[in-house]
Amino acid sequence: MNIPANLKYTKDHEWVAIEGNVATIGITDFAQKELGDIVYVEVETVDQTLDREEVFGTVEAVKTVSDLFLPLTGEIIEFNEGLETEPELVNTDPYGAGWMIKVQFTNESELADLLSAEAYKELIGA
């Protein structure tokens, strides 16, 4: 199970990479394995400001559709357009080319609620 130590995580199985006040967000290796083959990623919230834990999109696998929850309050400033034609990047490279959105977050105190790699490992029993 790949759980990079330099990222933060959520209980909803999303990872967060912080650069200044911009967070890059995707789903974890654990999540993509649980979902199976990803066939579609839908994000129609670009340029919208959402609160933490609001649904920002969905990920569709062969057998299920799952909501994607925003880990930090802020404006969604970018969607990974590569996922429109290659949604399987979420399966093959969840922490790289399979990233989903970038958010300009507005409440830095919410960062304290994100999980460390160690805490996420405990959550999933890895």
Within 8 A by CB and 6+ apart from 57, the residues are 41, 42, 43, 44, 45, 67, 68, 100, 101
Q: Which domains does the chain have, with CATH numbers?
A: 8-107 (2.40.50.100)
The predicted-structure confidence for 60-116, as pLDDT tens digits, reads as follows: 999 899 999 999 999 999 999 999 999 999 999 999 999 999 999 999 999 999 999
Percent of the chain with pLDDT over 90: 97
Question: Is the Cβ–Cβ distance between 99 and 80 less than 8 Å?
Answer: yes
User: How many degrees, rounded to 5, is the angle at CA 48 between CA 3 and CA 9?
Assistant: 15
